[in-house]
C-alpha cells in the first residue's frame, strides 16, 4: 500500500471534524503537511498537535468563499513549496433551509465554498503533478452527492457537482499516474450541522441527531485515507444510512417514498 511518509499533503477544512482527523492521522504517518481553514485559531491548535508527530506542518488560513483569496493562496503555496503529492479538498459548509425560503445569494455562497474552491485548488496543483508524473487528489463529497435531501438543496447540488467534475478529472489524468478519490461520508459525528447556515446565512446552531449518533470522525478519516492509498475511485463512509445510496440506485420508487418521511434534522 502507498506510504505518505515525508510526502507533502495539503488538507483544507483541517481545523475540525474530518479534516482535523485526516491531518492528525497523516501526521502520525510522518507526512509533511499544509493545512488550511478559515478558523486561524483552531487551525493553529491542530498544527501544534500535528507537529508532535511530523517534522513539517505549516498552516495557511483563508476563506473558501472568496475565490480571489483561494486563488492567491493556492498560487502562494504552489510557488513556495515542492510538488503537492496529495491534495484533499475537504473544507465545506452545509445548509438547513427550504428551497422556497433560500435566496440565490445563499445558493451561490454554498457553491463557492463546497464546489468552486475545490476546482480552483485542484487546477492549481495539477500542473505540478502532471510534470512529476504522479499524485493524488481527493474530494470530500457526501451521500447528499448521490441523492437530494430536504433542507439541503444547494449543499446537495454542490456535492453532485463534485461528482461530475472529479469523475471527469479521474479519466483525464489517469495517463499521468494521478489518482482521484471521491469520499461520500454519511452521518459523521462532527459539527457540520452546528455550522450549517439557514436561509438568512446564520448558523443553524443545533447538533442534528444524525451527527450526534454518527460514525466518529476518526474512523471516517481512517477509511478515507485507506481508500486514497488503495486508489479507490470512490468510498462510501458511514453506517446504516448508506443503504439510501443503494436504494436510490436499485429501487428508486422505494427511495422516493422513504426520503420524504425521514427527519432531515
**pLDDT digits 0-9 by tens, 50-91:** 999 999 999 999 999 999 999 999 999 999 998 999 999 999
Query: Which cell numbers in the block locate residue 223?
Result: 477509511
Look at residue 264 in the predicted model and tell me its pLDDT.
Answer: 67
Distance, in Å, from the CA atom of 82 to the CA atom of 80, rounded to the nearest integer, reads 7
Average pLDDT over residues 23-39: 98
Look at residue 261 in the predicted model and tell me its pLDDT.
Answer: 74
CA angle 94, 98, 101 (to 5 degrees): 110
Closest CA to 210 of 122, 120, 143: 143
Output the pTM of the full model: 0.95
Percent of the chain scoring above 90 in pLDDT: 89
Query: Which cell numbers in the block locate residue 162?
Result: 463534485
Using CA atoms, how far residue 47 sits from 33, 39, 223, 232, 236, in Å, is 9, 12, 22, 28, 28
Length of the chain: 265
Distance, in Å, from the CA atom of 105 to the CA atom of 221, rounded to the nearest integer, reads 32
Query: Which cell numbers in the block locate residue 170?
Result: 479521474
Helix H or strand E segment including 48:
helix 40-50
Backbone region of residue 151 per phi and psi (left: phi > 0; alpha: psi in -120 to 50; beta: other values): left
Look at residue 260 in the predicted model and tell me its pLDDT.
Answer: 80
Look at residue 210 in the predicted model and tell me its pLDDT.
Answer: 78
CB 3 within 8 A of CB 29: yes
β-pair partners for 60: 36
Distance, in Å, from the CA atom of 126 to the CA atom of 84, rounded to the nearest integer, reads 9
In this prediction, residue 205 has a pLDDT band, given cuts at 50, 70 and 90, of: confident
CB within 8 A of 179, min separation 6: which ones?
Answer: 135, 136, 137, 170, 228, 231
pLDDT in tens, 88-144: 999 999 999 999 999 999 999 999 999 999 999 999 999 999 999 999 999 999 999
Say which of 60, 115, 118, 155 is annotated catalytic.
Answer: 155
Look at residue 209 in the predicted model and tell me its pLDDT.
Answer: 77
Distance, in Å, from the CA atom of 87 to the CA atom of 97, rounded to the nearest integer, reads 31
Look at residue 265 in the predicted model and tell me its pLDDT.
Answer: 63
Look at residue 105 in the predicted model and tell me its pLDDT.
Answer: 97
Distance, in Å, from the CA atom of 172 to the CA atom of 188, rounded to the nearest integer, reads 31
The sign one gets for the Cα dihedral 223, 224, 226, 231 is positive
pLDDT in tens, 135-191: 999 999 999 999 998 999 999 999 999 999 999 999 999 999 999 999 999 999 999
Distance, in Å, from the CA atom of 157 to the CA atom of 146, rounded to the nearest integer, reads 10
Active-site residue, 115 included: no
How does the average pLDDT of the chain come out, rounded?
A: 95
Count Cβ atoms below 10 Å from residue 262 Cβ, excluding itself.
12
CB 50 within 8 A of CB 23: yes
CB 6 within 8 A of CB 31: yes
Using CA atoms, how far residue 257 sits from 7, 154, 155, 192, 252, in Å, is 47, 22, 21, 26, 9
pLDDT in tens, 206-223: 888 778 889 999 999 999
Look at residue 183 in the predicted model and tell me its pLDDT.
Answer: 98
Q: Considering the domain delimited by 8-240, tell me its CATH architecture.
A: 3-Layer(aba) Sandwich (3.40)
Amino acid at each position: 500500500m502507498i506510504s505518505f511518509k515525508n510526502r507533502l499533503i495539503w488538507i483544507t477544512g483541517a481545523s475540525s471534524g474530518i479534516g482535523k482527523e485526516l491531518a492528525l492521522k497523516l501526521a502520525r504517518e510522518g507526512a509533511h503537511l499544509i493545512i488550511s481553514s478559515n478558523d486561524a485559531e483552531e487551525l493553529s491548535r491542530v498544527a501544534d498537535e500535528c507537529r508532535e508527530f511530523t517534522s513539517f506542518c505549516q498552516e495557511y488560513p483563508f476563506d473558501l468563499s472568496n475565490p480571489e483569496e483561494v486563488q492567491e493562496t493556492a498560487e502562494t503555496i504552489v510557488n513556495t513549496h515542492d510538488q503537492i503529492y496529495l491534495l484533499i479538498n475537504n473544507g465545506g459548509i452545509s445548509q438547513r433551509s427550504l428551497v422556497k425560503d433560500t435566496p440565490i445569494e445563499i445558493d451561490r455562497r454554498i457553491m463557492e465554498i463546497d464546489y468552486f474552491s475545490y476546482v480552483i485548488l485542484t487546477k492549481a496543483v495539477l500542473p505540478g503533478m502532471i510534470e512529476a508524473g504522479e499524485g493524488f487528489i481527493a474530494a470530500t463529497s457526501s451521500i447528499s452527492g448521490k441523492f437530494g435531501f430536504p433542507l439541503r438543496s444547494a449543499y446537495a447540488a454542490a456535492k453532485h457537482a463534485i461528482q461530475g467534475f472529479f469523475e471527469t478529472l479521474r479519466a483525464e489524468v489517469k495517463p499521468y499516474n494521478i489518482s482521484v478519490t471521491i469520499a461520500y461520508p454519511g452521518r459523521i459525528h462532527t459539527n457540520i450541522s452546528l455550522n450549517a447556515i439557514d436561509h438568512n446565512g446564520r448558523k443553524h446552531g443545533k447538533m442534528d441527531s444524525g451527527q450526534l449518533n454518527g460514525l466518529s470522525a476518526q474512523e471516517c478519516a481512517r477509511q478515507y485515507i485507506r481508500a486514497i492509498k488503495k486508489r479507490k475511485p470512490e468510498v462510501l463512509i458511514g453506517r446504516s444510512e448508506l443503504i439510501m445510496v443503494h436504494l436510490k440506485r436499485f429501487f428508486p420508487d422505494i427511495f422516493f417514498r422513504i426520503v420524504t418521511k425521514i427527519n432531515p434534522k
